[in-house]
Structure 1
Amino acid sequence: MELFFLAVLVLTMAFALGSGYPVAFALPGAAIISIGLAAGTGYLFGGGTDAYFHTGGPQQWLSAGTINLRGTFWEVERDTLIAIPLFIFMGIMLQRSKIAEDLLLTMASLFGPIPGGLGISVVFVGALLAATTGILGATVVAMGLISLPAMLRNGYSPSLASGTIAASGTLGQIIPPSIVLIILADQLASATDQASSARKALHKESTGELSMPSIFDVASTSAGEMFLGAFVPGLVLVGLYMLYILVYALIKPSAAPAVKYEGQMNLQFWGNVVMTLVPPLALIFLVLGSIIGGIATVNQAGAIGAAGAMIMAGYRLCEGKKSTYLPAILAIVSLLVITFALRNYEMNVKAMSTPEDATGIMIGAFGTIGLLIALIWSGIRVLRIDNTLQGVMLETAKTTSLVFIILLGAAMLTAAFRAFGGEELVREFLLSLPGGFWTQFIIVMAVIFFLGFFLDFIEIAVVVVPIVAPILLADPGANITAVWLGVMIGLNIQTSFLTPPFGFALFYLRGVAPAAVKTIAMYKGVIAFIALQLFALGIVGLYPPLVNYLPNRVSFLSDQAPPPRNPKLQFCMEDYVSGQLAADDGKTLAAIKTAQGLNFDVLPKKMSKSVSKAVDSAEEAIAKLNEAFVAADAVEAASGAYRPQLRLVRGIEKNIRREQKHLTEMNTTLGRLPADSPDREDLMADIAKAEAHIAELQGQIPDTWDGVHETFAKLTKAENDARNKYRRNADTSYEDVAEALAAMNDTTAYLGFEEELLALRATVEAGDPKETEALVNDLSKRIGKLGATDDVKKALGKARRKLKAKTPDVEAALSEYDKAIASFENGKVWRAEAETALRPGLETYLSTIEGTLGLRMQSGLTREQALFMASCSAHHRDISLNF
């Protein structure tokens, strides 16, 4: 019956959507109807309202959608959806203020003289509008009203012209900032949590180990990372569109002729080009640059974009007046003032302590006030002229409400889908497919492409993604990143705007296109662009660094970059270290040999031993690193024969686990049935079949598997052991020597305590023990902050305890004090000797290995190292051999 009500859910939704019922109400309506029918049927015929649900009851599933949606807004770290109304406002404001129209006209005059120039200009402007607005309807309508008549008038093929405009209008869905990317990031944040749990369970089932190394875990994503990941694929798509139009125009000039600019390309013309292009490009730089540079979050960047759009609209709507550009100039000057203050002063009001700090705060306050005046001034202008601001706000509210109502409806639909076991059904179907991840992925992509013929991008993103994303992300063989999966789905969803019968870009264009452009011509025109989108999807799928590199680069170069000891960086770091050692012509080994020849006897005994061991560990680390790569080559050589057997056995074991789960459920049901129930016999027969099937599956596991697995496990263990030994030796080779040098660097501060330490004797002898104890304790703590002062600190600590006792023992305290003095004198001696005998050699040694063997001990990565890590980790690494 669960499958029956699942079918009711899907058919009800399909009927509602097909009949033209609003999507925002079709989704939750289908969920409420199906859950209500299941509850009523269960109450009448099943003995309870929860009889026909996979788990739980109707109350749980009716409230699940709203609870999940509410959780999105109450969790601070999941606030990315707040950016949606800000970007919607920005896009509508730029469209209503005719800035989009100016861009189209200017670019058409600039590109027109080359073959296919008008079409290329439409693509170029579509990309600019995508990077500033992301509002598909506004972009398509604007370009349809302005460019389509011009293209037709100049002899362009109706199919090419309409296809170019419709496809260019969809660029806003993949070029950031994009609403679909924000929604996908939000959905994938939840999906990665589920995928992480599934991968940990798989690792435990496969290896028997209770915990999975964090290096194998699934990494989450954010809206900022999605923006960065989609940036290059978006440019690839723009390049493909332009290349197609250019080639088409060269092959068939009559379909896309060059259009000569009738005016003169004089200083006025180029000034107009600059004034039209620079403001939108500056806004793109502020919005995307602030995200890429780590200066602003996606929400903050949305606020920047909304404010910038209003200032641009303020001067565009007042064009021709003397004071046209005054608010914009005031805003620019204010931003420069704020930037100057931030770069030159400490702008923390609470920490203000000097006149200079007060000056910086004052300058920043003037800049902020100026910016606020510019915003208010522009807002008043936009409100007064044709009531533009009210219209933009109303349209923003309507669009935002629609998005969030669809999100709520989709959350309810997804909850109902899970209530009837739909999610588990999809999971079982995908996991049972032969061919592993790529078969699953291709089928999911095909389903999303097919759904794009009928559903909007929001429905696909919030209904399909939560179901399939955890399954795809959990696969250790592909080991894909969440941002790559999100961009791939985003590129795929983009086709939904062009695919008939419900291609929204086609609807928008049809509404403004002249009657001479037939609908069939529009459908023909978008076919090539749909093919280009799928081709771009293939390019990005085959070369993941197109998506992964830029987010990695920004992350590794930021102030919040992961430390070098981060587990996920270790394989790439070892590749880097190996390459550096191979390219240094033996300088590192020579430095190690030189350090081994130093006489460490001048150091304290414990330190001498640790430093000597550290230098020897450096040589051992290089040997273990070479062993690790030799072992890795052995694993790679053996994996060709081992991997097919691993997939076969893991597949059989997965089927066994599924059958055992089903068997457990049947045994539970059997235990609940009355002894005289007529269903017992059939159920017992099913149990016998399941047990026989499990035995049959277990018999399919090759007899040689245990031996093969054990042999391969020894190879992987040898590699892991060598890598772990390399890491331990590398850390020791740097850390202990660095501690010794740090102690030498503290010599001046160390000697500074001598006078205070010697003067302490008189206080101990004559002072009040309790007061003296506090002085000794304070001195002990301050000396203890320096390196290699444990002996002094320990002796002072004992003296303090003698003074702190119920019956203070001053004589014993003085005895311990004398030991502290003796230790201090010994420290002076070895520090003086080490300064000349060891410091130069140890400094040379550390400077030589700090970028290789000492890399893990550094506080952060250098630019060169960060770029290498970004490139290396941008590729997906198969980790299935560890499962």
Structure 2
Amino acid sequence: MIEHFWLIVLGLSLLAGILSGVPVMLVLAGVPVLVAFVAAGFGAFDLSFLQAYPQRAFGVMSNSLLVAVPLFVLMGVMLERSRVAERMLMQVGRVLGGTPRALALAVLLVSTLIAASTGIIGATIVMLGMISLPAMRRVGVPDETASGLICAAGTLGQIIPPSIVLILLGDQVANAYLEAQQQAGNFAPDAVTVGDLFAGSLLPGLVLVALYGVFIFFRLSNIPAHTEADTAPSNWWDVAREVLPPILLILAVLGSILTGVATPTEAAAIGVAGTLLITAARVSAAGDEDALPGGTHAHAPEQRRTAGWLRHVMTATGAVGFALVALRLTGVGRVDLSAAQVGLSLGSMLAIALTGLLVAGLVVAVVVLTRAGIFGAAIGRAVQTSAMIFGIVLAASMLSLVFRGFGGDDWVREVLTGLPGDHRTMLVFTLLVIFLMGFILEFVEIVFIVVPLVGPILLQDVDPVWFAVLVALNLQTSFLTPPFGFALFYYRSAAPADIRTGTIYRAIIPFVLIQIVTLGIVFLWPPLATWLPSVLFG
């Protein structure tokens, strides 16, 4: 135990720093440096290890894959601020509402769509708490069930792609898998991509949603409605107008990745472009509705014409975008650069013209959203969130470096290889550690602390996609487990005062158990995670 004294000091110091309330980013970066300098004074740490940090930081910031993170964040923030997700929930709730069970299942359905289009936990949970909670209480859904459903459904964006968790996890798993295979003597392994993880997590994510639905179905089967839900007239056109655009956005982003048309970073750019068009069209529609008879605008007819023109522009621009994707899929429209001169075919000139129209439409969308006060606020929020994520990534890199300087990687290897059984025993132990860490750490810290340590050992025998999906499902619980489950914090801020904190904590217990059951299903049946990537990518 003496030889690991400084590792124990490092661990206890990190725990004390986190519990002190100091921002996690500062704890992860500052505590390891402080412990390293103190240990160096006793001759227990070689400070030359720290010289590798600038290169590590540069490697993080020059990683093209991580460019997708701020783009997906911006995509989610714009959808939240334009109230697209909120209106989608209201429309579906009106159609399916009327009984406690129907309304709760409608919330779960819409949450799944929101998860695949935004992935921003805080915004999703606050929105669900403000919009769906009063409706569920009115029809008789118990506070405990409603609270648990909102907290659990609001975190689906972390396992249903496109997900920021999967992007960060994919980068670390790819590096760990390469190192593991090189240690095993395979110097040309197949690369692990974020597209593999997106495909691998899709079916497990839907299984999780299905189990949530089964629980809600039976939990509310015998509860009569207290009052009728909001069943104001809502024809199918109203529903389609609110639901179809996010579904098309999901298909554009996920489809471009899974069909190989775009990389995750390029798909994130596609998602931002689609989000600009959807939110601009939504703002235009809102302006048109405000100008209807009975409104307060003096020039209502003129405003209706302007709003209608803008909606047509956004729709046409979206059609142009899909036309460009179709050209890419068919191979038409590529510019021939193989010869000494640029060769322009009819298809490539068409693609260039369509690209010009797309850029023009996006410029109009940015102008509309800027005038509405949405674009600037969304950019600011996305920059703030992205800076927090990358700050934690850089801080975790420092922690990992100091941990290795104390010989922590050798200690982890000794612990894992000393366990009885095979690699599955190591995997179960790792998942248990991640689950316990989820009580006090965020997913970003866990990904950048645990995966680089255990990945090079486990991934010599474990399928990397299966491993990544299991870790992602495990990290899902970290948002719901007290005392630092962020979903609980967000919901507490949106829930009325008469719903006590103890009620919220009890409410998430069945949903955490469902997450663990889903994790067990994927652990016992790996093809659930590996089949779709093998079909799509071979």
TM-score past 0.5 threshold: yes
- 1:108 Cα deviation from its structure 2 partner: 1.1
SS in structure 1 of the partner of residue 155 of structure 2: helix
Match of 1:515 among 484, 497, 500: 497
Q: What corresponds to 2:108 in structure 1?
A: 123
- Compared CA separation, residues 24 and 146, structure 1 to 2 (3 A): same
Counterpart Cα distance in 2 of 1:531 and 1:218:
36
Residues 1:304 and 2:305 are matched in the alignment = no
SS in structure 1 of the partner of residue 483 of structure 2: coil
- 1:341 Cα deviation from its structure 2 partner: 5.6
- 1:390 Cα deviation from its structure 2 partner: 0.9
Counterpart Cα distance in 1 of 2:169 and 2:161:
13
Residues 1:382 and 2:348 are matched in the alignment = no
CA contact (8 A) 2:141 2:220 kept: no
- 1:411 Cα deviation from its structure 2 partner: 0.6
Amino acid in structure 1 at the alignment position of 2:440: F
Counterpart Cα distance in 2 of 1:11 and 1:102:
47
- Compared CA separation, residues 95 and 424, structure 1 to 2 (3 A): same
Give runs of ≥4 in structure 1 deviating > 6 Å. 351-354
- Compared CA separation, residues 435 and 337, structure 1 to 2 (3 A): closer
Match of 1:248 among 219, 230, 237: 219
- Compared CA separation, residues 481 and 159, structure 1 to 2 (3 A): same
Residues 1:4 and 2:42 are matched in the alignment = no
Q: What corresponds to 2:301 in structure 1?
A: none
Counterpart Cα distance in 2 of 1:299 and 1:5:
40
- Compared CA separation, residues 507 and 344, structure 1 to 2 (3 A): closer
Q: What corresponds to 2:299 in structure 1?
A: none
- Compared CA separation, residues 175 and 257, structure 1 to 2 (3 A): farther
Alignment of 1:627-646 (within 5 A): none
CA contact (8 A) 2:100 2:140 kept: no
Residues 1:325 and 2:321 are matched in the alignment = no
Q: What corresponds to 1:497 in structure 2?
A: 479
Match of 1:180 among 165, 175, 179: 165
Amino acid in structure 1 at the alignment position of 2:177: T
SS in structure 2 of the partner of residue 275 of structure 1: helix
Residues 1:407 and 2:408 are matched in the alignment = no
Q: What corresponds to 2:452 in structure 1?
A: 466
Alignment of 1:528-607 (within 5 A): 528-556=510-538
Q: What corresponds to 2:443 in structure 1?
A: 457
Amino acid in structure 1 at the alignment position of 2:26: F
- 1:73 Cα deviation from its structure 2 partner: 4.6
Q: What corresponds to 2:196 in structure 1?
A: 225
Counterpart Cα distance in 2 of 1:218 and 1:352:
33
How many residues are treated as equivalent by the alignment? Answer: 516
Match of 2:462 among 474, 480, 487: 480
CA contact (8 A) 2:333 2:351 kept: no
1:467-495 alpha-carbon deviations (Å, 9 max, x no partner): 11222112xxxx32111101100000110
SS in structure 2 of the partner of residue 455 of structure 1: coil
Q: What corresponds to 1:784 in structure 2?
A: none
1:605-637 alpha-carbon deviations (Å, 9 max, x no partner): xxxxxxxxxxxxxxxxxxxxxxxxxxxxxxxxx
- Compared CA separation, residues 524 and 258, structure 1 to 2 (3 A): farther
Q: What corresponds to 1:262 in structure 2?
A: 231
SS in structure 2 of the partner of residue 11 of structure 1: helix
Amino acid in structure 2 at the alignment position of 1:544: P
Q: What corresponds to 1:157 in structure 2?
A: 142
Counterpart Cα distance in 1 of 2:325 and 2:488:
45
Match of 1:442 among 401, 422, 428: 428
The two structures, once aligned, show a CA RMSD in angstroms of 2.3
Higher RCO (CA-CA < 8 Å; seq separation 6+): 2
Residues 1:67 and 2:37 are matched in the alignment = no
Alignment of 1:659-674 (within 5 A): none
Amino acid in structure 1 at the alignment position of 2:419: L
Alignment of 1:816-827 (within 5 A): none
Q: What corresponds to 1:99 in structure 2?
A: 84
- 1:549 Cα deviation from its structure 2 partner: 0.9
Match of 2:209 among 224, 234, 238: 238
1:317-354 alpha-carbon deviations (Å, 9 max, x no partner): 12213324123122134235545765485531547999
SS in structure 2 of the partner of residue 322 of structure 1: helix
- 1:233 Cα deviation from its structure 2 partner: 0.5
Q: What corresponds to 1:17 in structure 2?
A: 18
Residues 1:271 and 2:237 are matched in the alignment = yes
Counterpart Cα distance in 2 of 1:339 and 1:120:
34
Counterpart Cα distance in 1 of 2:70 and 2:427:
32
Amino acid in structure 2 at the alignment position of 1:142: M
CA contact (8 A) 2:140 2:226 kept: yes
CA contact (8 A) 1:89 1:396 kept: yes
Q: Which has the larger radius of gyration?
A: 1
- Compared CA separation, residues 59 and 332, structure 1 to 2 (3 A): same
Residues 1:427 and 2:413 are matched in the alignment = yes
CA contact (8 A) 1:312 1:328 kept: yes
Amino acid in structure 1 at the alignment position of 2:376: Q
CA contact (8 A) 2:333 2:346 kept: no
1:491-520 alpha-carbon deviations (Å, 9 max, x no partner): 001100000111100000000110111111
Counterpart Cα distance in 2 of 1:469 and 1:259:
53
- 1:219 Cα deviation from its structure 2 partner: 4.8
Residues 1:367 and 2:354 are matched in the alignment = yes
Counterpart Cα distance in 1 of 2:322 and 2:68:
25
TM superposition score normalised by structure 1? 0.56
Counterpart Cα distance in 1 of 2:175 and 2:69:
18
Counterpart Cα distance in 2 of 1:147 and 1:276:
16
- 1:5 Cα deviation from its structure 2 partner: 1.8
Structure 2 unmatched runs, 5+ = 289-306
CA contact (8 A) 1:338 1:363 kept: no
- 1:220 Cα deviation from its structure 2 partner: 4.2
Amino acid in structure 1 at the alignment position of 2:490: Y
Residues 1:113 and 2:98 are matched in the alignment = yes
